[in-house]
Amino acid sequence: MNVQNFIMKRLIWFSFIMVCGLFLELGEAAFAQQPVLQNEEQPTIQVIVQASTWKTRGRLLYDVEGSILKKLSLAGFRAVQDKKKPHQYQLVIQYEEERGAQYGVELWGTIIHASFLFRGANMTEPRSWEIRETSTNTVSGPAPYLDALLKFETHPYYFFLGSMLQSMTRGVGNQPEALTQAVTDFLLVVYPTIDKAVTQDGVRIQDHFMDNSQRVYQEVALQRALDELVHQGIPNDTLAPIAERLLESADPHSRIRAVQILGKTQNPTLREKINRLAQDDPNLAVRQAAKQFAPL
């Protein structure tokens, strides 16, 4: 019996080693497809996060530092948190959760205020911007704190943070231009072709380049990004390539926002796409939006 137990333990251990090896190979294969630079080419960035909350004991429920580090890693940066280590760039974030309006007995809303300062090599001057999001008290929506957090996560200047910083290191001078480039690059990965979906052994190629939070929030963030770029005065013709790719979205709200951009351009090819949407889109709201810009 002891011999049999010994053999069984050895077989279990051997199987465990084989499974670990398989997962390691799969992980390396997926990592090889990540759009990151080689170690010697990775720009180094010092990350300083100062975070606070109004909640009891001052303990943050949201890992804002971990979220930022993940965004920077996916964008090809190598984060340095030791102040004594050399670095090319510095990112300073002040993240504050403030108590908002009172919604009920011992129930308060949350205001998230975050400021960003980015500076470093080859930059003529520092870049800075702020984000402020306030929770909404709704009966059917998420809890006030989660509502504020969802708005913060999908704010375009935060959702596309890593890619925006990458653009700024290459000479892009302001936030709207950096956001335009970041959204363009993101859509090239999420919707790699206009005519057909690209698959790789049954797995979408874009799944290798995105973490779970990006997949959950991407459509809301893209819609908000378009709204922000329009608000900043970016011409519709400049936004047309972004909107055209967004027509491939499974989210009807994204397609409607794309139609609203493309409908104001004079490109006959794009106008023809709108005409087809007005007739063939499976969603009634999208068809109705497209008909507003389709010729009678």
Give domain status of residue 146, yes or no.
yes
Residue 226 has pLDDT above 70, yes or no: yes
Percent of the chain surpassing pLDDT 70? 76
What number is the average pLDDT over the span 270-276? 91
Q: Give residue 155's pLDDT.
A: 97
Q: Among 100, 133, 114, 129, which Cα is nearest to 64's?
A: 114
Give domain status of residue 198, yes or no.
yes
pLDDT bucket at 61, cuts 50 / 70 / 90: confident
Give domain status of residue 176, yes or no.
yes
126: number of Cβ within 10 Å: 12
Q: Give residue 142's pLDDT.
A: 73
Dist. CA 99–CA 59, nearest whole Å: 14
List Cα–Cα distances, 245 to 68, 76, 184, 227, 266, in angstroms.
27, 24, 9, 16, 17
Q: Give the pair of three-digit tokens for residue 113.
A: 């205020």
Residue 281 CB contacts under 8 Å (≥ 6 apart), including other chains: 252, 255, 287, 290
User: pLDDT for 66-122, tens place per residue?
Assistant: 999 999 999 999 998 887 889 999 999 999 999 988 887 777 889 999 999 999 988
Output DSSP code: residue 43: P
Domain count, the chain: 1
Dist. CA 90–CA 37, nearest whole Å: 19
What do you get for the CA distance between the two ends of the chain, in Å?
85
Domain that holds residue 202: 39-234
Q: Give residue 39's pLDDT.
A: 40
User: pLDDT for 111-142, tens place per residue?
Assistant: 999 999 999 988 889 999 999 999 987 766 67
Out of 138-147, 189-198, 212-221, 276-285, which region has the weakest mean confidence (pLDDT)? 189-198
Q: pTM for the complete prediction?
A: 0.77
Residue 232 has pLDDT above 70, yes or no: yes
What number is the average pLDDT over the span 30-36? 35
Give the DSSP letter string of 223-241. HHHHHHHHHTT--HHHHHH
Q: Give residue 141's pLDDT.
A: 63
Give domain status of residue 211, yes or no.
yes
- Residue entry with tokens 């303990």: 59
Give domain status of residue 267, yes or no.
no
User: pLDDT for 156-215, tens place per residue?
Assistant: 999 999 999 999 998 887 899 999 999 999 998 888 654 444 444 433 334 434 445 566
Residue 228 has pLDDT above 90, yes or no: yes
Q: Give residue 208's pLDDT.
A: 37
23: number of Cβ within 10 Å: 10
Q: Give the pair of three-digit tokens for residue 133.
A: 């999001």
**Between 29 and 170, residue with greater pLDDT:** 170
- Residue entry with tokens 């509502």: 147
Give domain status of residue 90, yes or no.
yes
Q: Among 178, 210, 211, 175, which Cα is nearest to 191's?
A: 210
Q: Give residue 42's pLDDT.
A: 86
Q: Give the pair of three-digit tokens for residue 295.
A: 């010729």
Q: Are 172 and 165 in contact (CB under 8 A)?
A: no
Average pLDDT, the chain: 80
Q: Give residue 214's pLDDT.
A: 60
Q: Among 91, 79, 92, which Cα is nearest to 43's?
A: 79
- Residue entry with tokens 């709704």: 138
Give domain status of residue 20, yes or no.
no
Dist. CA 92–CA 76, nearest whole Å: 18
pLDDT bucket at 7, cuts 50 / 70 / 90: very low
Give domain status of residue 29, yes or no.
no
